[in-house]
Every structure is written in C-alpha cells, then in structure tokens.
Chains A and B, each alone.
Chain A
Amino acid sequence: MTRADVAAAIRWIGATLYALFGGADFGAGFWDLVAGGAQRGERPRGLIQSSLTPVWEANHVWLIFILVVLWTGFPDAFGAVMSTLYVPLALAALGIVLRGAGFAFRKSIRRLGARRAMGATFALSSVLTPFFMGTVAGAIAAGNVPAQGNGDAFASWTGPLPLLVGALFVASGAYLAAVFLVGDARRAGGREAALAARSGDPATPALPNPDLETYFSRRALGAALVAGAFAAAGLVALHAEARYLFDRLTDQGLPLVILSALCGLGVLLSLLRGWRRPLRPLAAGAVVAVVWGWGVAQAPYLLPTSLKITESAAPPDTLAAILAVFIAAAVIVLPALGLLYWLSQRELLND
C-alpha cells in the first residue's frame, strides 16, 4: 500500500463516518419534515430534537474532514470536482447554512409561527442537502468528472445515475435515522415511565411510550424497503452508465454487496420480529458495506476512469502529514466523540 492509498483510505473512512452520522442526522430531519402538523408531529419532533441537539454539529465535522483531506491529499481531483460539479455543491452548501441555522434558531425561539418557519427550513434542507451531495457522488461514479476539470455544469449530475444516488442518500439517511430513533424512543420511554413513577402523580400521564417506538420502527421498515429499491435501481443505472464500476462491484466488490444485502435483510427481520439489540449494528453494517463496496469497486481510480489515486496524490510528505493528522484525530477526537455519544446515550446531556 502506497502513501496515496493510505490517504485515500483515510478519506474513505471519513466518508463512511459521514454517511453514518451525517446521514442519520439528515434522516432525522426527513422524519421531522414528514411528521405532520404541529399537534400530530409534536412527540416525534420532540424526540428528534432531543436526540439530535447534543450531537448534530459533531456529526457534520466529518464533511469538513472529507473536503480538507481531498483538497490537501488529492488537489487535482478536488479542483476537477469543484470546477465541474459547482452547481450541486453550491446548493448543498446553501442547504447546510439553512439547515444549521433553522435547527439552532428553532430551538431558541418560542413563537409558534417562527418556530414552524425555522423547522420547515431545517427539515426541507435536511432532504435537499443529502440529495445534492448524492448527485455529486453519483456524477463521480458515473465518470462525468473529467480529470482536467470544467466538465459540463449540468449534464454531469442530472443523468439517471446521479439522481438515483441522490435519492438513495436521502432514503438511506432516513432509514438510519429511523433505526436510531427506535432505540432513542425506547430509552426516552423508560425515562418518562420512571419519572411518572417517581412523581407518583397520576395526573402526569405515563405517556404511551411504545407508540413512538412503533412509530419509528414502522418508518424504518418503509425506509429500508425504499432504500433497497433505490439501491437496486442504482445497480441497473450503474450497469448502463458506469460499466467499469458495475463490473468491479459485481466482482471484487461482490462480497461487500452481499454483506450489505444480508445486513439489510437482518434489519427487516429484526423490525418485523421486534428485536431491538441487533438493529443499530445491522443498519450501520448495511451502509458501511455499501460505502466500502463502492470504494473497492472504484479503486485504483479517484475519478473513474480518468484519474487514478496515485496520479492525483499530493507529494509524499503531505500524505504523511495527513496520516499524522488522522492518528492525532484518532487519539484526541475519537475518545472525545465516544464520550459525547456515551453521555448523550446515558441521558446526561439535555437542556
């Protein structure tokens, strides 16, 4: 393995973590969007907000990480992508601004009308942002980004494959989020019951907790099916538009594709049977396997099939610096991030 491969792998690890945490974060916004009116959507939105609040900023730092590793480690590829796909990238950036502002502002204001406007901004951009990011990924996979950059500003990302990958990004985020929220609903339910028992106040209703669990588990099931359908359609589009990737995905990448499908089936089974414990690992496994299947299928290309990883790589000492930063991040950031998720899952963080 060359240093360039190591740097590419680091970027892919970042992309995987972003697909998991960023994806679930966007997905939570999707469920906020479709939760219905103020009355009907109150409880799911409350759960979404309390689950998201402590972690949403950390979830998105992975995006910065991917961008920075790409521009430092593979500047040519970065320039090519940016000078070709600037339209969906600018729209994704717009979505990030609206989403972050909408979420942060909604939490801090009280007037219902303003809250609704902010909430709608947050929720709508939670769908549009991953969609445009998906079209970028799809355009790269389809080989629509020429190595020298300045590819077609619109045709590059408006074909069936990029649009399907965009839809897949939205659906898989929604699927991950629903699975995570099933667990959060369970915990929140336990806490509410404990609180009600402690207060001993019959006027405080022991809110029907299982209903939120069922609510999200039903949605997880639906999202899993939709994401699976998009993935299958994506394979067909891949066959038509990105033959190189398709051939390698069904060859070197096949074990990972099968693993992803098995994990997906496992999620479906667990949801139908009401098994809670294997849900999160299986759902995450399905996404991780797809991301790495893509990575394996695309190697040794950064931009299939015009720019190889080695051709685009920065000088060796820069790649070493990326590795050093990655190790430092693993030593400093990962334990801190673990602490954050641990505290948040133990319900030690709330307003």
Chain B
Amino acid sequence: MPLVSSPGLLPLPSLGSNLLAAHELMSFTLGFHIVLACLGVAFPAIALTANYLGLKHGDEAAMRLARRWSKVMAVTFATGAVTGTVLSFEFGLLWPRFIERFGSAFGIAFAVEGIFFFTEAIFLAIYLYGWKRLSGWAHFWSGTPMVVAGIGGAFSVVAANAWMNRPQGFTLDPAGKVVSTDPLRVLFNPAWGYEVPHMIFAAYMVAGFLVASVYAVGMLRGRRDRLHRLGLLIPLTIALIATPIQIFVGDMAARAVAHDQPAKFAAFECVRKTGAHQAEYVGGVCTSGGVKGGIAIPGLDSWLVGFSTGTRVTGLDSIPPAERPPANTLLHLSFGAMVGIGTALLLLGVWLAIAWRRRRDMPRTPWFLRAVAVSGAAAIAALWCGWIVTEVGRQPWIVQGYMRTSEAVTRAGGIWWAFALVVLLYAGLGTGAVLVLRAMSRRWREEGEEAGEAEAPYGPPAAAGEAPA
C-alpha cells in the first residue's frame, strides 16, 4: 500500500482507506510540528548566546536580538505547544490499538518528556516576561533551564520513536498482551543512541539556518547594520558547528540502521539482493530490476556499511514480501536529498571559514547571502526527508516486528474529513504565525525597540507612559 507517497489530494472518503487517511493525517501534523519542535529545542540556546554576548560586551545590538528572539520564541513555542498537544491526542484517536497494547512501554518515554516540557514552558515564561524587572544576569540564567529541558525533551520523544524501531524491555503473554516492562531498557533501546543525537543536532541546524536565513534576506534588501550582521552570524555559526558533527552522527546512524533495521536500509539504498560489493546509487528510481537512472558507484554501499567493499549487505530478497517497506523510490530519494543538503550546508560552512580566516569577515558576494537565505528552507527539507526515511522505512510496522500499523489504526469513520479539516486549520495556523512574525519585524523596523504589544487587547492605544495593565 502506498503511504506517504500517495498524492493525498482530494481523497474520496471511503471506509477501506482508514489506514491511508490516518497515515496522511499523522505525517502531516507531525511534519508541521517537527519544525516548531526544532525551534523549541534549539532557539533558546541561540537567543541566550546573543543575550550572553550582549551582557558580556555591553553589546546593544546583541541584547536587542535576544529580546526580539525571545518574543519570536513566544509565538513559535505557543504554536508548537498546541500542535504537540494535538499529536498526543492523535496517538489515541488514530492509533488506539497501538496505545492499548503498548502504551505501558511506549508511554514511559512520554511521561519523562512531560517533565521537560513543563520545565521549558515555565522558564520560557520567566525569561520572556522577566526582561524588565529581573537583573541582567539573573534573567540570563533564568533562561538556561530551557536549553537543558529542550535537549531532555528531544531525548525522551526520540527515545520513544527509537523504541518503535527497536522495541525491547517488555514481555508478552501468549495473547500478545504486555505483562511486564523494564522502563530503563525501553528508554535506552538500541536505537536511541544514534536517533537522539541525530535529532538534537538536526534541531540546532534547522533553528540556526532558519533564523540566519531571515537576516540574510534582510541584508540582501540592503539592511546591513550590526543588528543584521549579528543576527545572521550568531545562529549561522551555531548551525555550522552542528553541521559536521551531524554528518558524522548521521553516518554512524546509517551504519547502525544497516545492522539494526536491515529492511529499512535495504529499502532506502535500493538493495535488491543480499550480498557483498553493493553499489551506492545517487538518485534514480528503485524497481524490482534494480535502480534505474541513478549514478552507480560500485562497492561504495558495502564500504560505507563495513569499511570494505566485501561487506555483505542485506537485500530486500531476504525480507519476507509482506514485511518490506513500501515506496522505496521515495525513501531512496529522501535519503539522498537529506545527505545532499547536509553536504551542501557543510560547504557553506567551509566557505564562511575560509573568508573569515582571510579577512575576518563573511564573504562579500551576494551569493553567500543568497545561499544563507535558502539554507533555512533547505535544512527543513532535510529534516522532513530524514523523518520520511525513518517512519516510512519502518512500515508496515508500527512497532517493528510486533505490531503492524494496519492493526493499530482506529475504526472510527471520517478520518479523511478530519484530515481535510486539519489541513485547513494548520494552513491557517501557519499563515497566522508567519503573518504575526512579519508584522512584529516590520514594527521593530519602523518604530524601534519599545514598540511592544499594545497594552490592552482591543482598546484604543493607551496614553504614553502608562504602565501596561
């Protein structure tokens, strides 16, 4: 059955398509939330870096950036909090059989996540609204728990996902019911060690490139003041430091997937027959007769898996047909796009580093700014591609080897209608968030820093000097 790859446009509500509808709804809402989640994980560290530089060097531009970014965070965090709440409803609404059977194991990581999310929400509020009345350094430190909580939250959620890929830490009775659990083995399953860091660095890349790209656009439009330079350089530096580490982590992850989740690996690498000397394909379409149209590099796939072209790689022919992941071409191209974008972003860092070594400045050509301007969208695309690989690549399983997604799905009707409604709702949500952020930025530009929010929700603007109610 085609999953995410299906067009998903103008679906006809029919009873037989609940699985497809639930898949579409879940991947759409997850794809939307994951971008905001990245900002939740990594944006605080970026804003606090600016705050630190501002306090340490008395740099007014850096302080102003930190203040603005905290206000942007308020909008993205609120949007992320509601889309995250929707997801926790969806686990039950769309996959009730999954939670019913495996909630006692799968849920543990989410219970842990609750602590981190709570902590982050609390300290975000203190940081965001403490600008005026808390002293500079006390205020800075009030923000640091957000960074820890963001990493902890990413750990718990991704550990839950890793558990779906490599489930362990529970025993089943003959009827398939979970009768005992080992919470630590659930959390620290074999896949957490590569999935969790891969996601945390991804979050830092997405947040860093995305924020930098906003200031790159500003500079391309001729706003080249210190504020814009710092606004570009602080997040870009953070993202560019994360990039090579991410590539290293991703390489380890791919190797681990080859051993831990051979069906997924065979699907995204289009390995048909188990054996040594497997070629690596760049691009191309996966067919039952092999890859069509891609560039083949002989032996490289085997070499990447085991550092020798003689390494044996499991092919799809070793996987029972009913357990093979669907949409192999989608997986293959997504994986390739993720790696390609990661590499391009690495080169962007090399470019900046060379220019910086030469003349302590960023490259002068507008092409550099143009590259930074698209880096945010590129990082998000890579993020989505990575999640397509890990999620579609696990199909047909929801819990690898234990439960099929088709067994987990709800029997409730009308999921296509829910999907249509959610697409409209989220389109409004996304548009609203972007419009609000643009309006804020325009206001800051036109009216300066103290153009904060109006004092009361609707009334005429209050007299100057009056405290907000």
Determine the chain B residues whose CB is within 8 A of the CB of A48 once the complex forms.
457
User: Which listed residue, A41, A94, A105, A347, touches B432 by the CB 8 Å rule?
Assistant: A105
* Among B109-117, B238-246, B268-276, B302-310, the stretch in contact with A: B109-117
Contact A58 B133 (CB under 8 A): no
Contact A318 B108 (CB under 8 A): yes
User: Which listed residue, B78, B85, B89, B467, touches A90 by the CB 8 Å rule?
Assistant: B89
User: Which listed residue, A96, A315, A349, touches B82 by the CB 8 Å rule?
Assistant: A96
B130 interface contact, C-beta 8 A: yes
Closest to B81 in A: A57
B232–chain A nearest beta-carbon distance, Å: 23
Closest to B458 in A: A38
Contact A46 B469 (CB under 8 A): yes
Q: How far is the CA of A96 from the CA of B80 in the complex (A)?
A: 12
A119-B458 contact given A97-B429, A105-B432, A315-B179, CB 8 Å threshold: yes
A69 interface contact, C-beta 8 A: yes
Q: Which B residues, 328 to 355, have Cβ-Cβ distances below 8 Å to chain A?
A: none
Determine the chain B residues whose CB is within 8 A of the CB of A191 once the complex forms.
467
Q: How far is the CA of A81 from the CA of B100 in the complex (A)?
A: 10
A78 interface contact, C-beta 8 A: yes
Contact B469 A188 (CB under 8 A): yes
User: Which listed residue, B71, B111, B122, touches A321 by the CB 8 Å rule?
Assistant: B111
* Among A109-117, A163-171, A231-239, the stretch in contact with B: A109-117
B101 interface contact, C-beta 8 A: yes
Closest to B110 in A: A68
Q: How far is the CA of A31 from the CA of B134 in the complex (A)?
A: 31
Closest to A61 in B: B118
Query: Interface 1/0s, chain A 276-304, versus B by CB < 8 A?
Result: 00000000000000000000000000000
Q: Which A residues, 34 to 62, have Cβ-Cβ distances below 8 Å to chain B?
A: 38-39, 41-43, 45-50, 53-55, 57-58, 60-61
Contact B100 A46 (CB under 8 A): no
Q: How far is the CA of A333 from the CA of B111 in the complex (A)?
A: 13
Contact B125 A318 (CB under 8 A): no
Determine the chain B residues whose CB is within 8 A of the CB of A61 once the complex forms.
114, 117-118, 121
B175 interface contact, C-beta 8 A: no
Query: Interface 1/0s, chain A 9-45, versus B by CB < 8 A?
Result: 0000000000000000000000010000011011101
Contact A63 B104 (CB under 8 A): no
Question: Quick one: which of B110, B113, B456 has the most chain A CB within 10 A?
Answer: B456
Contact A67 B115 (CB under 8 A): no
A side interface size, CB within 8 A: 96
Determine the chain A residues whose CB is within 8 A of the CB of B469 once the complex forms.
43, 46-47, 49-50, 188, 192
Determine the chain A residues whose CB is within 8 A of the CB of B285 once the complex forms.
none
A104-B74 contact given A109-B439, A315-B104, CB 8 Å threshold: yes
Query: Interface 1/0s, chain B 263-295, versus A by CB < 8 A?
Result: 000000000000000000000000000000000
Q: Which A residues, 175 to 208, have Cβ-Cβ distances below 8 Å to chain B?
A: 188, 191-192, 195, 199, 201, 204
Contact A348 B125 (CB under 8 A): no
Contact A322 B111 (CB under 8 A): yes
A46-B459 contact given A75-B107, A104-B74, CB 8 Å threshold: yes
B322 interface contact, C-beta 8 A: no
* Among A137-145, A247-255, A258-266, A334-342, the stretch in contact with B: A334-342
Q: How far is the CA of A67 from the CA of B117 in the complex (A)?
A: 14
Q: How far is the CA of A240 from the CA of B463 in the complex (A)?
A: 57
Interface bracket on B = 35 or more
Contact B126 A340 (CB under 8 A): yes
A86 interface contact, C-beta 8 A: yes
A229 interface contact, C-beta 8 A: no
Contact A336 B122 (CB under 8 A): yes
B374 interface contact, C-beta 8 A: no
Contact A72 B133 (CB under 8 A): no
B433 interface contact, C-beta 8 A: yes
Contact B458 A112 (CB under 8 A): yes
Q: How far is the CA of A340 from the CA of B126 in the complex (A)?
A: 6
* Among B1-9, B180-188, B357-365, the stretch in contact with A: B180-188
Contact B112 A325 (CB under 8 A): yes
Contact A68 B122 (CB under 8 A): no
Contact A86 B81 (CB under 8 A): no
Contact A100 B82 (CB under 8 A): yes
A65 interface contact, C-beta 8 A: yes
Contact B436 A333 (CB under 8 A): no
Determine the chain A residues whose CB is within 8 A of the CB of B125 once the complex forms.
54-55, 57-58, 340, 344, 349
Q: How far is the CA of A98 from the CA of B463 in the complex (A)?
A: 31
Contact A89 B74 (CB under 8 A): no
Query: Interface 1/0s, chain B 142-184, versus A by CB < 8 A?
Result: 0001000000000000000000000000100000001111110
A325-B115 contact given A315-B104, A350-B129, CB 8 Å threshold: yes
Contact B452 A46 (CB under 8 A): no
B91 interface contact, C-beta 8 A: yes
A348-B130 contact given A110-B439, A115-B457, CB 8 Å threshold: yes
Q: How far is the CA of A201 from the CA of B101 in the complex (A)?
A: 68
B132 interface contact, C-beta 8 A: yes
Q: Which B residues, 172 to 218, have Cβ-Cβ distances below 8 Å to chain A?
A: 178-183
A145–chain B nearest beta-carbon distance, Å: 12
* Residues of A in contact with B (beta carbons under 8 Å apart): 32, 38-39, 41-43, 45-50, 53-55, 57-58, 60-61, 63-65, 67-69, 71-73, 75-76, 78-83, 86, 89-90, 92-94, 96-101, 103-112, 115-116, 118-119, 149-150, 153, 188, 191-192, 195, 199, 201, 204, 314-318, 320-322, 325, 328-329, 332-333, 336-337, 339-340, 343-344, 347-351
- 24 residue pairs A–B, Cβ–Cβ below 8 Å: A42-B457, A42-B458, A43-B459, A46-B456, A47-B469, A54-B125, A57-B81, A58-B121, A75-B101, A83-B411, A92-B89, A99-B82, A105-B436, A108-B71, A108-B437, A109-B436, A110-B439, A110-B453, A153-B412, A204-B466, A314-B181, A317-B182, A318-B181, A349-B126
* Residues of B in contact with A (beta carbons under 8 Å apart): 71, 74-75, 77-79, 81-86, 88-93, 96-97, 99-108, 110-115, 117-119, 121-126, 128-130, 132-134, 145, 170, 178-183, 410-412, 418, 421, 425, 429, 432-433, 435-437, 439-440, 443, 452-460, 463, 465-469
Give 18 A-B pairs besides A45-B458, A75-B99 with Cβ atoms closer than 8 angstroms: A41-B458, A43-B469, A64-B114, A65-B118, A78-B99, A79-B99, A96-B82, A98-B425, A104-B436, A108-B74, A191-B467, A192-B469, A195-B466, A329-B118, A333-B115, A333-B119, A336-B119, A351-B132
Per CB-CB distance, the 6 closest pairs between chain A and chain B, nearest first, are: A72-B107, A42-B459, A79-B100, A75-B103, A314-B104, A46-B456
